[in-house]
Every structure is written in C-alpha cells, then in structure tokens.
Amino acid sequence: MAKESRISLFDLTTGLSETVDLVNPAWVNHHMQVAYIAFSLSEELGLSMEEKSDLVLAGALHDIGCYCRAEKMDLLKFESELPHEHEELGYLFLNEFKPFSSIANLIRFHHVRWDEKNKIQKSGKKVPYGSYILHIADRVSILINKQEEILGQVDSICEKITAQSGKMFMPELVDAFVKLAEKEYFWLEATSSLLYVILSGRVKMPSISLDMEHLVSFSKVFSRIVDFRSAFFATHSAGVAATAEKLAQFAGFSKQECQWMKIAGYVHDIGMLVVPIELLEKEEPLTEEEFGIIHKHPFYTHLILKSIAAFKDIVSWASYHHETLSGTGYPFHVKEDNLPLGARILAVANVFTSLTEIRPYRNKFSDETIHEELKKLGEESKLDPNIVSALLLHFNEINSARIAAQDEAKEKYLKTECILLHFEQ
C-alpha cells in the first residue's frame, strides 16, 4: 500500500456522486447531469478551466447534504417550497475535506434566487457566480422528463427558464442557456447514460496526491452521508473505524495498514444508502423481504469502492464485513480460505460496535453480555475466534478508543441537527 495515492479529483468525485444518487432512485444520473449542464454553460460563458472544473465537481455533489425525505421530493419540483437545509449541510461536510473546500461554497448557495440575493448579502455573505450557474443547471435538469423524447421538450423547458429571467435566475445566464439550447447535441449529451465518459474527455482536472490524513478525511465524508441519516446510527462507522484500527494494531498490522483499516471502518456501510431509513429504525421484527433489502448493502459497498482507485486495497475488507468463516455470511458467501484478515477484523469491529449501541428495538448490551455474545459468535465460526480473543483481551483499551471516536462523531452530528432545527423553525 502506497504512502500517498495519486488520484483524479474527477474520479474521486464521481464515486461519491454515485453514492449520493443511491439515496433516492428518482435522482439516478441527476448529479452528473447537473455537472454536465453547468460545464456546458461555463463553456458558453467563456469561463476558465479552473472555474469549469469547480462547477463539474460542485454539480456532481450539489445535493450531498440532502437527508430529509420531504426535501428530497421537494427538490424534484421546479419551484421548490421548503427551505434548503441541504445546502448548509453539504457545505459543512465538504469544507472539511481540503481538496473540496473550493466547491463547498458553490454548493452552499446553489438554490439562492437571483431576486433574493440581497437577503444573503445583508447577512455578510456573498453568493459566488458559480452558485447561480449551478442553480439554473439544477432546475434545467429537473425539467427534463426521462420518459419522453428530449428534443420534443426543448421549447417548453426554454419557456419555463426564460419566464424566470431576473426572478429565479440571473438574466445573463438565461441568455447563455437559450443559446446553448439551440444546439441539439447539448440535449442529446445531457440525457446520455455516458455522461461520465463525455465529461472525463473534456474536463482537464488535475490528479492530486492524497496523503493518509486526506484519505481518512475523505472516508469520514462517506461515513457521514450514511450515518447522519439516523440518530441510532449517527456514530456507528466512527466506532467501527476506531475499533478496527485498534484490532489491526494487536494483529500486527503496520502503522500505515492500521490507517487503511480505519478507513475501511469508515466506508464499510456506504452501501447502506440503498436501505430506506424506515427499515433501520423499525421497532417491529423485519419481514423476509426487508431482510433481503438490508442484505444488499455490502454488495453496493463493493460496487462503490471498486470504482474509486484510492480504495482498491481495502475493497474486500469493507465489502466482506458480513461474511463468515463457514461461508454462511452474505452476500458473497466467501469462505475462510478466501476471507482476508482485514475483513475478519472489520466483521468483529462491526458486531462489537453494534452491541454497544442503542437500536430502535433494543437497548445497548452490558459489557458482560457483549463478552458472552462475541465468544458465542467466535465458537460458531461466525466471527474469527482469534480476533474475538484479541478484542476481549484488550477490551478496556479498545472500548475506550471506540467511545472517544463516537463522542467526536456525535458532536459533529449534533451540529448538523442544529442546522436542521434552524431551517425547520
């Protein structure tokens, strides 16, 4: 495992963008479509390559902070009615990852109407020019009906956009859009399933060197997208990451490998985005069909991480965290001989952390019960008994590390809750 990874910002972003799309099936390809429309507008306007690149990244991630179900549906309306709390949450998440700090501000204001910009300016904030571009690109995307032939929709889309010139949208951008809309290729590309290929061939986006600190920071962004959907799971990945890192140390992993183990802990549940939060918070026993939905999540974790070159060394660790030594786990049914040590560690870390947490249908377990449950699972070959023994031998140290990590995550979660509360009032 290399000390630093040379990574394309475009590839890093599209991997995260595909993850966000999993939250709502109605959003499939929406983020990349907004990225493409914003890029095309920036070309029409003659912006610099740096400005174009930032708009592509921001477009691909513009709704990363959207958790509220009502807001998700509201965003699919041309003139949305609810306050846009997801803008501030998106800014909060991305601003902490240095390579994304330049686009965080674009996302923070991407729903500001042109005729309401003075309200923002009076509060001492400035709406970036790129935010207005994102806004019109986002609304054009919403107007596209995926069930109908695109060229037949052009006139009606243009009418709705031009009717909002000087109101919802900056007049200069409406004029640029109308010129762009005359070109059939723009619409054919905007509705293509090959937007990744189209954009990757046109956007000159640099590769950057990410050290371990940046990779850990990026993995935290992933975990918060998943975990912050529910108070019951808000600190889960943080606890798994801290536990897995400690277990890796006791298993003889190098310092760098322990960091990768922490990253695997943060991203192991990214596939949970396909699972409706209603199932995770259900108090009654799950049906067979509902269990089937939950059992999909490691597969999607595998699919997402496999597409991000930076994480290629830990895909199996994160994807196999529900596999067992006997091959009775899910969804790959990997048996002992093919189950990496990293995956075994993560499986123990995941079960241990879950047992310490409150769930809708139960309280957290006592330390004594946790010991008993882990031993039982080890004896049944559902968990690696050697990893279980290591955890129990160093229980206090590992548990303290877990608590500290989850306390830190809880503080961050409560900050997002304050933002949500502010918008609801």
pLDDT tens digits along 118-141: 877 767 788 999 999 999 999 999
In 3D, which of 346, 325, 321 has the Cα closest to residue 257? 346
Per-residue pLDDT at 188 exceeds 60: yes
Residue 202 reports pLDDT greater than 90 = no
- Residues 51-54: contacts with CB under 8 Å, at least 24 apart: 51/130, 52/203, 53/9, 53/203, 53/204, 53/205, 54/102, 54/103, 54/106, 54/130
Q: Do the Cβ atoms of 320 and 306 come closer than 8 Å?
A: no
Q: Do 317 and 343 contact (CB within 8 A), yes or no?
A: yes
Phi, psi of 114 (to 5 degrees): -60, -35
Structure token pair of residue 151: 């060229």
pLDDT in tens, 279-338: 889 999 899 999 999 999 999 999 889 888 888 889 999 999 999 999 999 999 999 999
**pLDDT over 80 (residue 180):** yes
Cα(4)–Cα(7) distance, integer angstroms: 9
- Tell me whether residue 379 is exposed, middle or buried, using C-beta atoms within 10 angstroms of its C-beta: 0 to 12, 13 to 18, 19 or more: exposed
Residue 78: the pLDDT is 58
For 6, the enclosing helix (H) or strand (E) is strand 5-8
pLDDT at 354: 97
Contact 345, 387 (CB under 8 A): yes
Task: List C-alpha distances in Å: 348 to 14, 274, 400.
Answer: 31, 23, 16
Query: What is the average pLDDT across 399-419?
Result: 91
pLDDT at 163 over 70: yes
DSSP codes of every residue in 161-200: HHTTBTTTB-HHHHHHHHHHHT-HHHHHHHT-TTHHHHHH
What is the C-alpha separation between 216 and 235, in angstroms, rounded? 16
HSE, CB side, 13 Å, CA atoms: give it for residue 344.
25
**What is the pLDDT at residue 64?**
84
- Residues 174-183 have a mean pLDDT of 98
3-class secondary structure, 134:
helix
In angstroms, rounded to a whole number, what is the distance separating the alpha carbons of residues 38 and 47? 11
**pLDDT at residue 116 above 80?**
yes
